[in-house]
Amino acid sequence: MTPQQIKAQFARALTQIEKGQLGPAESTLKGLLLPTKGAAEIHFHLSRIAEAKGDTPTQIRELDRALEKKPNEKLVLKSAIEANARLGNSDRVLECHDRLIMLEPNNFQPRGEKAVYLQHIGEFQKAEEILRFLIKRVPKEGETYRVLTTGRKMKKDEPLIGQMQALWKDSSITELSRMHLGYGLAKAMEETDQRERVFDYLTPANQLQRKIIPFDAEERNAEWQAFLDAQETDDYSPVGEAQSPRAVFVTGMPRSGTTLVEQIIASHSQAHPGGELGHALKQAVLQFGPAHKMAPLAKLSSMKLGRWADAYTRLVRRDTGRTTGVVTDKSIQTHMIFGLVARGLPGARIVVVHRDPRDTALSIYKNHFKMGTHRYANDLADIADAIKMFRRSVDHWKARLPGRIHEVRYDELVSDPEPQARALVAAAGLDWEEACLNFHTSKKNVKTLSLTQVRQPIHAGRREAWRKFESELAPFIEAWGDEPWD
């Protein structure tokens, strides 16, 4: 091939990828391997095709080949981090992080990203060493303090607290930095028995996040109702064939115990934790339209439902590396499409977790969520409304899917774990294994705010934390009104 022919074929392959013509694109690219002597660009785009097909092992192999040719290509290194993290290849992930750090020694973001990953795999001390280094180099970055406090319990004599409090008084820091710092300080105050000062930092932090990312309750409620309306049908019986791996959806409000429930199931020898995958709802929107324009479930053919199920399963395989057994999916918003799940994913199971709304509300308000998600979380009255909406959604689906939703009461689970865990595992369609009560010994990656909690055994001390802040929760309690807590 001439250079001009190679360039034309390469451009053709990229166009085919953009059009979703993965098979032809793969053939075109493989035809370029010999004339380009296995150029890194060819292997990189073959990795993109493997990712789109849900084949993470092949994606990783192609990325490794690209890195053999160009070991310092940042885009390829970042893709390798993401792909290897999916399969729990922590050594490889850390190696790629280190390469990025060496490429940009004065850029602190790669170090921060490595620290966050170390927390996810339970290496809290190593993460803290990096974060403390960053604090010395960039002492006015509030997010670094917040991430550090996330991975450890603060002590009264901790000098870092004084440093954070001094920074809080610094008028020159950005609103975003102050917001992160506020969440970190609130956590530090609670852990050092200065509970009267927790909301002194927590309320301003939430107010700042609400200012940066506004929330429209009417828009959220209208979207939810539109999803429910689109799924109204007389027939929710499953169509098509069961997918493999089989999904067990674990849903509940944030901070309600969904991670605990997921870890119990995922500790089974035939199960794997998927975390908040998010693919069921995203694929529903892509294939059937957004809430207000969603194609009615009653009119969706078995072929269209099968296409949605195939896309969901392909992405689950990509993100977990699993092709058999059970994968838990902790995507909270899935409750809005339980009808579609029941109809289009034969064999899937649905688990809903409930917790005392006061404990749930307090934990939501105390925690920083990824910017743009859970926008209601910065106002106690809005949190009350969100929990009520979730309860209405569950009641809606229980009436339409009798016997197909397994409910877990968090307080009962932590008070008397074994019978609740046995019922949960059975509801997931699995036989009981003792390992399901020893989830805290797992080394699996934890992608959740509950980084430290899931490394601990079940204990009842997690109940009724709201009583310590009953007066501060007055706006939530007032907004809740006369509705029962249970």
Q: pLDDT (tens digit, 9 = 90+) per residue, 132-151?
A: 999 999 999 999 999 999 99
Rounded mean pLDDT, 343-355: 96
- 191 with 224, same domain? no
Alpha-carbon distance 377 to 478, whole Å? 16
Alpha-carbon distance 464 to 358, whole Å? 8
Residue position matching structure tokens 């960039």 = 138
76 domain residue, yes or no? yes
Let me know: does 43 contact 62? Beta carbons within 8 Å. yes
Residue of 351, 336, 356, 333 whose CA lies nearest to 483: 356
- 49 with 100, same domain? yes
466 domain residue, yes or no? yes
Supply the pLDDT for residue 446: 47
* Domain boundary residue, one of 190, 212, 234: 212
- 135 with 269, same domain? no
Rounded mean pLDDT, 223-252: 95
- 370 with 269, same domain? yes
Q: CA dist 318 to 118, 188, 284, 384, 429, Å?
A: 22, 38, 18, 36, 23
Let me know: does 86 contact 60? Beta carbons within 8 Å. no
CATH number of the domain within which 466 lies: 3.40.50.300
Rounded mean pLDDT, 357-369: 95
Per-residue pLDDT at 450 exceeds 60: no
333 domain residue, yes or no? yes
Alpha-carbon distance 265 to 244, whole Å? 17
Rounded mean pLDDT, 309-313: 95
415 domain residue, yes or no? yes
Confidence of residue 221 (pLDDT cuts 50, 70, 90): very high
**What is the layout of strands, in order, in the sheet containing 271-273?**
271-273, 326-329, 246-252, 349-354, 405-409
- 131 with 76, same domain? no
- 94 with 135, same domain? no
- 328 with 405, same domain? yes
153 domain residue, yes or no? yes
Summary mean pLDDT of the chain: 93
Q: pLDDT (tens digit, 9 = 90+) per residue, 34-78?
A: 999 999 999 999 999 999 988 999 999 999 999 999 999 999 999
- 50 with 158, same domain? no
CATH number of the domain within which 42 lies: 1.25.40.10
Q: Is 110 exposed, middle or buried (0-12, 13-18, 19+ CB in 10 A)?
A: buried
Backbone Cα Rg of the chain: 24
- 391 with 456, same domain? yes
Rounded mean pLDDT, 348-353: 97
Quote the percentage of the chain above a pLDDT of 90.
88
- 124 with 46, same domain? no
Confidence of residue 263 (pLDDT cuts 50, 70, 90): very high
Rounded mean pLDDT, 461-478: 88
Provide, for the chain, the percentages of residues in helix, strand and coil under a 3-state DSSP scheme, each rounded to the nearest 5: 65, 5, 30
Q: pLDDT (tens digit, 9 = 90+) per residue, 276-289?
A: 999 999 999 999 99
Residue 4 sits in which domain range? 1-107
* Domain boundary residue, one of 73, 107, 141: 107
Secondary structure element (H or E) that encloses residue 408, with its range:
strand 405-409
- 432 with 412, same domain? yes
Confidence of residue 443 (pLDDT cuts 50, 70, 90): low
Write the single-letter amino acid at 408.
V
Q: pLDDT (tens digit, 9 = 90+) per residue, 404-427?
A: 999 999 999 999 999 999 999 999
- 287 with 430, same domain? yes
486 domain residue, yes or no? no
Write the single-letter amino acid at 86.
R
Residue position matching structure tokens 């399901």 = 436
Let me know: does 182 contact 196? Beta carbons within 8 Å. no
* Domain boundary residue, one of 107, 124, 143: 107
CA-CA-CA-CA dihedral for 36, 39, 45, 50, to nearest 10: 100
485 domain residue, yes or no? no
240 domain residue, yes or no? yes
Supply the pLDDT for residue 464: 80
Q: pLDDT (tens digit, 9 = 90+) per residue, 187-213?
A: 999 999 999 999 999 999 999 999 999
Largest CA distance in the chain: 77
